[in-house]
Copies of this chain bind each other. A is one copy, B any other.
């Protein structure tokens, strides 16, 4: 099966280029993510990159997909690390923060598609996002079944809310870390923990009057 081996080689090379692109991205940011920088990082000629990717934007797209897939894996791990659905949600929220701290730069990529309206989000990226979403919804449904959270809480809607709120929070605590220390005498992690507590508490059923 020589064909299969070649395909594998090609995939490995693609991964090597993506690794190089990711290294440049982390080191220099999206604005400096040029083909020439990636080629130099990968120790390849510029033209070679075009044997593996049709255009620069395909590289960027693949980077976002990689990132999203890693996050999905983290969410899976978060769920496996606990039995109680509420604890699973808590783990997921913490995982978001952990992930963001290590992958802050990837948020630029996601917003890349927002800024460039003419650019379609790659299908794979949408799929990965939906997988993440479905995963969280399922946890919320289980929590509701077990009476751990309010019954009038719409699982799908709240999934979006968790996604939005945590995204905002991880950006905030990271970006304003110094300010937090000064104003609050709390670390970013502590503030994020307060946020998680707030969300989890808010989900629980209210005491019957």
Which A residues lie at the B interface, using CB under 8 A? 29-31, 104-105, 107-108, 111, 114-117, 126, 129-130, 133, 154, 156-157, 160-161, 163-169, 171-173, 175-176, 179-180, 183-184, 186, 191, 194-195, 198-199, 201-202, 206-207, 209
Which residues of B sit under 8 angstroms from A30, Cβ to Cβ? 115
Please give me the residue from chain B that is nearest to A180 by CB atom: B160
Cα(A199)–Cα(B202), bound, Å: 8
**If the complex has contacts A107-B111, A108-B115, A114-B104, are A165 and B169 also in contact, measured as CB distance less than 8 A?**
yes
Which residues of B sit under 8 angstroms from A130, Cβ to Cβ? 179
Contact A169 B180 (CB under 8 A): no
> Which of B107, B161, B183 makes the CB contact (< 8 A) with A156?
B183
**If the complex has contacts A108-B114, A117-B29, A207-B207, are A167 and B157 also in contact, measured as CB distance less than 8 A?**
no
Contact B157 A161 (CB under 8 A): no
Contact A164 B160 (CB under 8 A): no
